[in-house]
Structure 1
């Protein structure tokens, strides 16, 4: 079952169970996907079906990151109630993301990508990152992986 279908099913279940907070977050996810669909339609012409699952994973990853940053800012500002709400939204969004890779799995994936691309210098970093993003979108934090790749290629 693709991510869109899982979100739609969860949305219906949340409506039936009258889970207002969960329903609100699911509607935000749905709106973000539809926004991306509309933007993609404008770029690709009217014949396109919409965004792929990989793009949806990117959207969800971005939503999680935004909410984590907001929660951090709220905590620093002493607004723990708002921070808790943001973190609750993160939990709902993460239900649709694949399991995050462990540190060891991430290192193995980086080493494999470097070997597969034949990367030898920092100039090849873009190729390595492109391959990792293609295969592991939503499964690893690319902000942390970038420096790791850079260290290996330096």
Structure 2
């Protein structure tokens, strides 16, 4: 069971459906892992190819193995619209430690509706099995 910190770098999206009649869409992303949730900044007027370059941290303390990314369109007069969702499996980042920038398909009502680009890094919680002696770490192995 992994324990540590998951760092998500939200880079960009492309191919989003621009359904705003009067102006370009204003997309943002809701990132969620278990009960933890973060919201990116709204990219006003960014249209169907927004760029964020924002970093978010999640605490990993159990075996949950998916990160959910939901792209929303900020609407000033109605409820915000869901533009698509990506579910990213995390087993590989837990094993490898990091996954370079990668594009994931966005889906809405089982239809492809663009892609979102993120990079992931997992930093395991330190397990201090060495004894501390006067501020120095003392190894238990023989030399």
**TM-score interval, smaller chain:** under 0.3
TM-score normalised over the length of structure 1: 0.22
Larger radius of gyration: 2
TM-score (norm 2): 0.23
- Which structure exhibits the higher relative contact order, with contacts defined as CA atoms closer than 8 Å and separated by 6 or more residues? 2
Greater helix content: 1
Q: Which of the two has greater strand per residue?
A: 2
